[in-house]
Each structure stands twice: as C-alpha cells, then as structure tokens.
Amino acid sequence: MEFFVTHQAVDHYSGDCSVAFVLKGKSNENRIIQNYLDLHRFEPKLASTLMLGKVEGYKSKRVLVVGLGESPLSQKNYIKALKSLSSAMSVSKVKNVVIPSIEVEDADEAWLQITTARVLKNESYKVKKVGVKEEISDIVLEAVNIYSQNNGASEIQKGVAIANGMALTRELGDLPPNICTPTYIAETAKSLAETYNLECEILEESDMESLGMNSLLSVSKGSIEPGKLISLSYSNAGNEAPIVLVGKGVTFDSGGISLKPGQGMDEMKYDMCGAASVLGAMSAIAEMNLKVNLTVVVPTVENMPAHNASKPGDVVKSMSGQTIEILNTDAEGRLILCDALTYCEKFKPKAVIDIATLTGAVIIALGKHHSGVMSNDQKLADALKSSGLSSLDTVWQLPLDEEYDDLLKSNFADMANIGGREAGTVTAACFLARYAKNYSWAHIDIAGTAWLGGSKKGATGRPVPLLTQYIMDQV
C-alpha cells in the first residue's frame, strides 16, 4: 500500500473510489450525494458506511459514504471512522482511493495527515500464520491519495513510518516463543542496524557477568536460551544527549519456579512487547530520518523453571551494587530492567523511558485503554501525557511516593523484588526508580495495552505511536 498527496478535488479523482464524509444532522453540500442518502435511508451514524456505484458529478467508479456522527468531530471519532472506512474498502476490494480533508476538533492538517496514513496502514496489517507466506494477490488496496491544500507528503510519510514501526512490533509480539527467542530479537536488531546504518552492540552472558549484571542473569540461567543485552543507537543530532528507550524482552515468561497457572500462559509470549515496541519506535524514527539522537536498550531473556533456576529466597547483587531478595521469580521483569537501567548511565542520557509488560495490577487499575506511567521527573511525565493525547495512545499517571517504596523492605537484602498485593504497579515502579536516580526517567507499564486476547488476539503495536510522538515533539 502506497500513500500520496493530492491537491485535486475529490470529485475530480478518476480512480476506483472516492470517499465522502457525512455528519449527522447536517445536510450534505453535494445534493446528488444527499439524494442517494435519502434514497437509501442512510443515517450517518459514527462509523457507518454506504458504498455507492457511479455517482453523477464524480469521476471515480464508486463513492464510499462514511458517517461521522454528531458535530464537532473529535479525534477519537475520526479514528473510528477511518477504521470503518478501511473495513468497507476491504470488503468491496477497493484498489485505490482518494480521501478528502475534514475538520477535526483540536487537530491541524499535519495531525490529520499523519493520523490518516498511520491508521489506514495499520488497519491493513494482517496477522501472519507461521509458515504461510502472504501472496501479492491477497493485498487489494494499492494506493491511498490524501487530499491536502499544502504539500503534506512528509507528514504522510511520518504516519507510514509509525505504522511500519507498529507492524514490526506486532510481528515480533505475535511470533511463537520457540521462534522469537532472545537470539531472534538480537538478529532483528542487527537487521535494523544494517537497514538504517545504526550502531549495534550485543552483550552475551559472559559480557554481562563481567559487568556484574547478576540480577538479569538470575532470570536467564533457568533457560537453555542464552540472555542478551542489546543496544541500538541512531545518531542524527550532533553531540546532543540521547533519548534512551529501554524495552523489557522476556520472550516467554513461565513464572520460573513461581510457576504461573496453565490457563492463558500461552499469552506470556507477549512479555517481550516492551522490547518489540522500542525496536518499532527505532524503526519509525530512523525511517523518518529525524534530527535526534536515540538509543534503545533491550534486556532479553526467557524465564523458565529448571534445576538451576533462581528460587524464592535467593539474594543477588545487581550491576549497581544493590542487593535484591527474590521473593517471587515471576516478578522477573524488574530484575532484568534494573541492570539495563544501570547500564544506561554510560550513554549520559537526556531522558530514559522504560517500557514493560510489568504488572497484571495495571490492568486492574486502568484496563485496556491507558498505559500506566510513573516518573521521577514531572516534566517528563507531562510530556509523555501530552504526546499520548496527541497520538491517542494515552497514558495515565500513577504515584511514585516513598510510602510505597517502603513496601520493598527486606531483612536480608537492600530490597525485595515484590512489595505484596497492594499497589503492585506502583511498587514495581518504585523498585525500578532505585536504579534510575542519576537521570530523568519514566516507566510505562503496557501490560494492559500491548496485546488483546479472545477473538481479536494479537499484539496491538502500542505504545509505538506514543513513543514516536514523544520523540517527534522533542525535535
């Protein structure tokens, strides 16, 4: 699917299909279109669609009417309309289309172009079955033309880049864990480095042992799959301090000795979606060629039970020198992230943002709508909240108070790796905050937003839109 800017009026488009947006309770300015709506008794409820054949006054073969509901049109409702538009085009096997501009509340033309391209490209993503190659004939929609009064090509390409980053994130997340191992993620990082001329470094377990990353290694040692610590750097802003994204990469989380229940354990292949999202964000930023310095760090392991696996009650020393009593081996994400956060100090970062499917508690608190954010820097938290609103990939801030930190006390080490049942999302962030005292830091818990279950089971690609928007906002 390719995207183009057009300055030609929509009714002059001579391709396969033209889109006509219609608001509820507002008579369409095009009387011919309105006559068709009256004839079909079409009520333009939000996300409703009506495919018409040849329409007088339009040069295209077909016209797709898309209902927008009540005025004013919100950003959320515009995205809902785009998704229904995409579905209708897929059903009708539209090959090429022109999409008009529309007034969206609190949105400028740049937002409209980025969002339209991003949503339509992402909606075209198909979950891939293992071993089944997609045929070219399966791809129907070939060209999307977006009307613009200005030259919006660069904004449209940003939207495409974000969608491509989301696709990479979704592909990695959906892969079975016997394929998407720590080594596979490392190979994916190498491939990105080759594509975009990035600096790539991969630490093996022996390298991490030399650095004292005993917390991370305590998780990987129960698996036959060796752990890795991956760093990718994109440099396009001189000597500016880099933004660093850290992504949790547990390619399968059995819980270790603190074994998870069997029901739903297959979804623990998604415990590497933090890693997938930072690689997706790196892909998007590099494709945009933004003037920024960006580094991603991915600690990646498999958490398995074994005769040599970590046990509840074990004490390990992290790279920072702080000791940890492992009360629960299923709280392993923070054990790999803490060493990665210490490692980030070498980059002298402008800010560090870690992204992790860290706690089930965040799903109880926020459901599947918002990711949770906690930070030691309110300006950084505010920037992420603002970028989340702009990209409609939202975060909700949770507290990070010392009263919660007290719940991590241990009689046998500097801290325990869990703080009990209450405020589980917050105490997990408090644990990480102990390793992020030397820089501006935020933690994003995506356990509720990284994937969906049920009939729509699959990775969502979040929070790639949030991360890329945040980085774009810094340029």
- Residues marked as catalytic: 260, 334
| Residue from 251, 235, 253, 350 nearest 299 by CA | 251
Residue position matching structure tokens 């004292």: 212
Q: Are 272 and 300 in contact (CB under 8 A)?
A: yes
271 is annotated as contributing to ligand binding? yes
Using CA atoms, how far apart are residues 277 and 169, in angstroms rounded to an integer?
Answer: 5
Residue position matching structure tokens 């270790």: 256
Q: What are the structure tokens assigned to 263, written together? A: 């029901």
205 is annotated as contributing to ligand binding? no
| Residue from 210, 231, 227 nearest 345 by CA | 231
Secondary structure of residue 475 in the 3-state scheme:
coil
Please return the burial class of 470, using the count of CB atoms within 10 Å of its CB with bins 0-12, 13-18 and 19+: buried
253 is annotated as contributing to ligand binding? yes
Beta-sheet strands, E only, within 68-198: 96-99, 143-147
Q: Are 191 and 282 in contact (CB under 8 A)?
A: no
**Range 198-203, long-range pairs (CB < 8 A, 24+ positions):** 198/232, 198/233, 198/234, 198/282, 198/286, 199/232, 199/233, 199/235, 200/230, 200/231, 200/232, 200/233, 201/230, 201/231, 202/228, 202/229, 202/230, 202/231, 203/228, 203/229, 203/230
Using CA atoms, how far apart are residues 118 and 454, in angstroms rounded to an integer?
Answer: 25
State whether the Cα torsion 395-401-402-404 is positive or negative. Answer: negative
Using CA atoms, how far apart are residues 366 and 425, in angstroms rounded to an integer?
Answer: 11
Rg (CA), the chain: 24
In the annotated binding site for Mn(2+), the residues are 248, 253, 271, 330, 332
